[in-house]
């Protein structure tokens, strides 16, 4: 059975796609750090990410809040994919640290070359091709010692970084998935709802070409936001499961961080802003203020990456009322 906190059901996927529904595919590499094949060792593992990609944002957040900066290296692709005239074809993630971003007119300082395989690949696709795989998605967790991909499913990467944080050389006192059966069941249930209606739901709203699929995703997204707002409001709890930041908070954050400045417009999620939900807004600011979160979040990459050819590569600049983003996230008092 599909774990709906990790990936969506693929039943009738071809027919659903033909009808205009965006159906996310299944990731092919599913091994785990901590196994005999991939032991947990500091300095051995590497991440390939796009900072605009919300699935990558999960793993950059985990790396950062768990204090794994020094022990897990990372390369960052350019947020816009290859153009139509690229010799390898369009829509591919590429390492291009000198490419100019249309948003700023300059290179993006976070972008890197590929430094982990020893081959200096230009494209993510080439890293997969070296293992005979025809995939091209990010994030990718890579074993530098074995020269192999470990896993390319963000939900699993996030979980294994948390579970192996100490052995990997993590420095922080953060436990994203504490060893308590009741709490784990609560986190798992939230993860599934948040994945289906919010994280992946945003893509269903923005990338499906069928009005009724869009309308259902729009409704489910805002219903879930209202439910999460009520959950936080009920006892004024700081985080989704109470007093402590957990995996459920971490997985909600990338979507809400993008909502007002990007998704409201790009994903046609213009029902309301997060700023219109006082408890969710204050939660967003609270998470943003946690050590490591701001450093793992890159608003310029998010803006640059979502407005490609069909938006003329021109990036909307707002909102600036009541304040520009992401600076607004330093102001919990902005919401009612």
Ligand X SMILES: N[C@@H](CCC(=O)N[C@@H](CS)C(=O)NCC(=O)O)C(=O)O
Q: Which residues bind ligand X (CB under 6 A)?
A: 7, 24, 27, 53, 55, 136-139, 152-154
**Catalytic residue list contains 329:** no
DSSP 215-275: HHHHHHHHHHHHHHHHHHHHHT-SBTTBSS--HHHHHHHHHHHHIIIIIHHHT--TT--GG
Q: Which is nearer to ligand X, 67 or 206 (CB)?
A: 206
Which tokens belong to 286?
Answer: 């609270």
CA 56 centroid distance within chain? 4
Q: Which is nearer to ligand X, 232 or 248 (CB)?
A: 248
Q: How far is the CB of 321 from ligand X (least distance, A)?
A: 29
- Both ends of the chain: CA-CA distance in Å? 43
Q: Which is nearer to ligand X, 229 or 255 (CB)?
A: 255
Q: How far is the CB of 90 from ligand X (least distance, A)?
A: 11
Q: How far is the CB of 126 from ligand X (least distance, A)?
A: 13
Q: SS3 of 40, please?
A: coil
Contact 111, 76 (CB under 8 A): yes
Contact 40, 47 (CB under 8 A): no
Torsion of CA 251, 257, 259, 261, to 10 degrees: -160
Contact 198, 249 (CB under 8 A): no
Considering the candidates 203, 257, 288, 329, report the single residue annotated as catalytic. 203
Contact 78, 300 (CB under 8 A): no
Distance separating alpha carbons of residues 60 and 110, to the nearest angstrom: 13
Q: Which is nearer to ligand X, 2 or 212 (CB)?
A: 2
Q: Which is nearer to ligand X, 80 or 152 (CB)?
A: 152
Q: Which is nearer to ligand X, 124 or 232 (CB)?
A: 124
∠ CA 189-302-70, nearest 5°, is 75
Considering the candidates 53, 56, 111, 241, report the single residue annotated as catalytic. 53
Q: How far is the CB of 157 from ligand X (least distance, A)?
A: 7
**Catalytic residue list contains 306:** no
Q: How far is the CB of 52 from ligand X (least distance, A)?
A: 7
Provide the sign of the torsion angle of the four alpha carbons 175, 184, 150, 305, taken in this order: negative
Distance separating alpha carbons of residues 276 and 334, to the nearest angstrom: 10
Q: How far is the CB of 146 from ligand X (least distance, A)?
A: 20
The residues that are catalytic are 53, 203
């Amino acid at each position: 059975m599909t774990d709906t906190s990790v990936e969506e059901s693929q039943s009738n996927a071809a027919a659903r796609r033909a009808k205009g529904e965006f159906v996310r595919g299944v990731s092919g590499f599913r091994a785990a750090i901590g196994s005999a094949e991939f032991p947990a060792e500091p300095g051995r593992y590497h991440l390939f990410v796009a900072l605009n990609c919300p699935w990558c944002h999960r793993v950059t957040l985990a790396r950062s809040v768990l204090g794994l900066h020094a022990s897990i290296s990372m390369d960052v692709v350019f947020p816009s994919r290859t153009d139509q005239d690229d010799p390898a074809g369009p829509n591919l993630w590429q390492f291009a640290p000198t490419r100019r971003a249309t948003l700023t007119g300059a290179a993006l300082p976070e972008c890197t070359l590929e430094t982990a395989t020893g081959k200096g690949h230009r494209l993510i696709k080439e890293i997969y091709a070296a293992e005979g795989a025809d995939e091209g998605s990010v994030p990718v967790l890579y074993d530098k010692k074995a020269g192999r991909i470990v896993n390319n499913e963000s939900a699993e990467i996030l979980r294994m970084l948390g579970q192996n944080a100490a052995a990997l050389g993590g420095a922080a006192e953060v436990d994203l998935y504490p060893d308590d059966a009741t709490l784990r069941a609560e986190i798992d249930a939230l993860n599934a709802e948040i994945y289906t209606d919010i994280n992946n739901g945003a893509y269903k709203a923005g990338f499906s070409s069928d009005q009724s699929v869009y309308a259902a995703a729009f409704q489910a997204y805002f219903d879930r936001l209202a439910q999460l707002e009520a959950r936080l409001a009920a006892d004024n709890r700081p985080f989704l499961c109470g007093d402590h930041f957990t995996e459920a908070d971490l997985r909600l954050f990338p979507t809400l961080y993008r909502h007002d400045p990007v998704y409201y417009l790009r994903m046609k999620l213009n029902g309301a802003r997060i700023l219109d939900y006082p408890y969710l807004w204050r939660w967003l600011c609270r998470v943003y203020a946690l050590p490591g979160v701001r450093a793992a979040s890159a608003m310029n990459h998010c803006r640059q990456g979502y407005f490609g050819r069909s938006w003329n590569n021109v990036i909307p600049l707002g909102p600036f009322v009541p304040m520009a983003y992401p600076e607004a996230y330093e102001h919990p008092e902005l919401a009612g």
